[in-house]
Amino acid sequence: MNPSILDRMKVVQGDITKMEVDAVVNAANTSLLGGGGVDGAIHRAAGPELLAECKTVGGCPTGEARITKGYNLPAKYVIHTVGPVYGGRPQDSTLLASCYQNSLQLAADHKVETIAFPAVSCGVYGYPIEDACRIAVDTTARFLEDHPSIEKVNFVQFSEENRQVYEDYLKQIS
């Protein structure tokens, strides 16, 4: 992998709501009306205005992404994407890759330079972290090659195990 692309991807362990980036990505559900996990944490930290804006968006199909303001978050924007519920089907990986691709495209369209992703679909939606990590990193790396305006993509992991999976994969492809 081109070292200049690798330098623009970083693994962080922590809470995505604290990230000082231009945009944080939310692992939302199709209603965009809030939920548990990272979605609940982002809505709590952003405040009720986020839900009010989400109500005007009209939902989001699986694999797509929508952008709102970040309100009380340090981030200027929240990019809401809906990952697949893992079922071991061939379309799961295509849909998960689309989440990263579409989120990054919205980011580029809004002149976002720094962005943070959670492990989309890897909580309640049950996607195995090793497979999801490869899809996240490979899709992001391809996007960064064509989009020099995006300076840094942070993959924010809540758990030490998931952080290690990302570190190992980035090392493997370097």
Q: How far is the CB of 137 from ligand ADP (least distance, A)?
A: 15
Q: Is 42 helix (H, G, I), strand (E, B) or coil?
A: helix
Give the Cβ contact number of residue 39 at 10 Å: 20
The bridge status of strand 9-13 relative to strand 152-157 is parallel
Q: How far is the CB of 168 from ligand ADP (least distance, A)?
A: 16
Between CA 105 and CA 64 the distance in angstroms is: 11
Pick 2 or 154: Cβ nearer ligand ADP: 154
Pick 8 or 43: Cβ nearer ligand ADP: 43
Q: How far is the CB of 96 from ligand ADP (least distance, A)?
A: 10
Between CA 66 and CA 78 the distance in angstroms is: 8
Pick 71 or 125: Cβ nearer ligand ADP: 125
**136 within 8 A of 119, measured Cβ to Cβ:** yes
Contacting positions for ligand ADP (CB under 6 A): 15-17, 27, 37-39, 41, 83, 118-125, 156, 158-159, 162
Q: How far is the CB of 145 from ligand ADP (least distance, A)?
A: 26
